[in-house]
Amino acid sequence: MPIRLVPDGTKIPFMRGRIMGLVVSAVLSLASVVLFFYPGMNYGIDFKGGILLEVRTPEPANFAEMRAAIAGAGVGEVALQQFGSPTEVLVRMEAQESEAAQGRAVAAVRAALDQAMPGARIVRTEAVGSRVSAELFTAGMTALGMSLLAILLYIWFRFEWQFAVGGVVTLILDVTKAIGFLAVTRIEFDLATVAALLTIIGYSVNDKVVVYDRMRENLRKYKTMPLRELIDLSINETLSRTIGTSATAFLAMLPLALLTSGAIEGFAWTMLFGIVVGTSSSIFIAAPILLFLGENRLRRGTEAAAAAG
């Protein structure tokens, strides 16, 4: 027997909370913009440049000894971070002036670690110059902007312009909240995180298109129903699908967030947050915006239709 997450005939008056939903969303998005500038994002090596070493030690790492040994290597500012288990450490160094200097810096750190913790080994090395990191950052932001523009054109072509504006405004609010989440949690903002943001945009717009499509069908079916009631009806009719899809995606992503580390972990946690925000925004943000924009436009001709009936 199939499990129904939402009983048939559910009539939740979502639009009663439309003002509160929009206000809470706007406040969270504004706070996220502030957090983007202060304290700022935890930029990864993709966007900040520098050298990243993944080190594995035979015993739980002693950060004080490792920091003291690396400080004597003369490679500039160095940051240490536990990476997964207590025997895994990420070593971040500032960018060097040339590839040869980067090679010497890695060799100096390797020698310092051998002296501080015999048996420690470097299992991964990444180096990105400042010019490349700037290009990657520009490319990542361009990808986000182009995706939003493409979605605006797609929804505008498929639906009326009120749907397009409501969808894109909601997506922008979703992305800003995700950026605020990254700023608060200090998850590295790198290319993997940009991929997560693009995935969130795709997931969120898919959910909104499903709800919008039902609204459009009901606009043709119930020509005299008030728009507010019609939007509530459409959301309730698609609520089972929305919750089922979101729960499936959330449960599929949860093990990655709990059992992995590094870029995959950051990607997974960002996706989990985006799934929750994208699902709720379809109901409490996109629908109220459509109600405000389409109150007197999507219902043109209603009186004439009623009179003709």
CATH number of the domain bearing residue 300: 1.20.1640.10
User: Regarding predicted confidence, which is higher, 247 or 112?
Assistant: 247
pLDDT of residue 132: 64
Residue reference for tokens 């490792």: 66
35 and 173 co-located in one domain: yes
Compute the distance between CA of residue 107 and CA of residue 127 in angstroms, rounded to an integer.
13
Q: What is the pLDDT averaged over residues 219-229? A: 85
Among 128, 145, 176, where does a domain finish?
128
Statement to judge: residues 31 and 74 lie in one domain:
no
From 128, 149, 165, the end of a domain falls on 128
Co-location of 250 and 291 in the same domain: yes
Statement to judge: residues 145 and 262 lie in one domain: yes
Is residue 2 in a domain?
no
**Whether residue 249 has pLDDT greater than 80:** yes
Above pLDDT 70, what percent of the chain?
Answer: 90
pLDDT at residue 304 greater than cutoff 70: no
Are the CB atoms for 284 and 17 separated by under 8 Å?
yes
In a domain, 72, yes or no: yes
Asked whether residue 27 falls in the same domain as residue 57, the answer is: no
Domain enclosing residue 260, as ranges? 14-44+133-308
Whether residue 275 is predicted with pLDDT greater than 60 in this model: the reply is yes
Q: What is the pTM of this model?
A: 0.79
Distance in angstroms (rounded) separating the CA atoms of residues 22 and 308: 37
CA atoms of 198 and 200, how far apart (whole Å): 5
- Predicted confidence band at 105 (pLDDT cuts at 50, 70, 90)? confident
In a domain, 159, yes or no: yes
Q: Indicate whether 309 pLDDT > 50.
A: no
Closest CA to 212 of 174, 255, 258, 157: 157
Highest mean pLDDT among 42-56, 171-185, 255-269: 171-185
Q: Mind listing the pLDDT tens digit for each residue in 28-77?
A: 999 999 999 988 888 877 777 778 888 888 888 888 888 888 777 777 77
Higher pLDDT, 262 or 61: 61
108-134 per-position pLDDT tens digit:
888 888 877 778 888 888 777 666 667
Which pLDDT belongs to residue 179?
93
**Cβ–Cβ < 8 Å for 195, 178:** no
177: CB partners within 8 A, 6+ apart: 25, 28, 29, 32, 273, 277
Look at residue 302 in the predicted model and tell me its pLDDT.
45
Q: Does residue 300 share a domain with residue 261? A: yes
Among 248, 225, 253, smallest CA distance to 237 is for 225
Instruction: Find the farthest-apart pair of alpha carbons in the chain and give their distance in angstroms, rounded.
Output: 90
Q: Which tokens go with 104?
A: 């010497």
Cβ-based burial of 8 (10 A; exposed 0-12, middle 13-18, buried ≥19): exposed
Residue-wise pLDDT for 86-99, tens only, equals 888 888 877 777 67
68 DSSP β-pair partners: none
For residue 218, the SS3 value is helix
* Nearest of 249, 237, 245 to residue 213 by alpha carbon: 237
Q: In the structure, what pLDDT confidence band is assigned to residue 251 with cuts at 50, 70 and 90?
A: very high
1 assigned to some structural domain: no
Give the CATH number for residue 94.
3.30.70.3400
Q: How many domains does the chain have?
A: 2
Q: Final residue of a domain: which of 107, 128, 149?
A: 128
119 vs 186, which has greater pLDDT? 186
Evaluate whether 235 touches 21 at the Cβ level (below 8 Å).
Answer: no
Express each pLDDT in 199-213 by its tens digit: 888 888 888 888 888
Domain co-membership, 88 together with 62: yes
Give the least confident one: 158-172, 246-260, 275-289: 158-172
Helices (H), the chain: 18-35, 45-48, 63-71, 99-116, 130-158, 161-185, 191-221, 227-259, 263-281, 287-294, 302-308
| Cβ neighbour number for residue 198 with a 10 Å cutoff | 16
**198: pLDDT strictly greater than 70:** yes
Mean pLDDT of the chain: 82
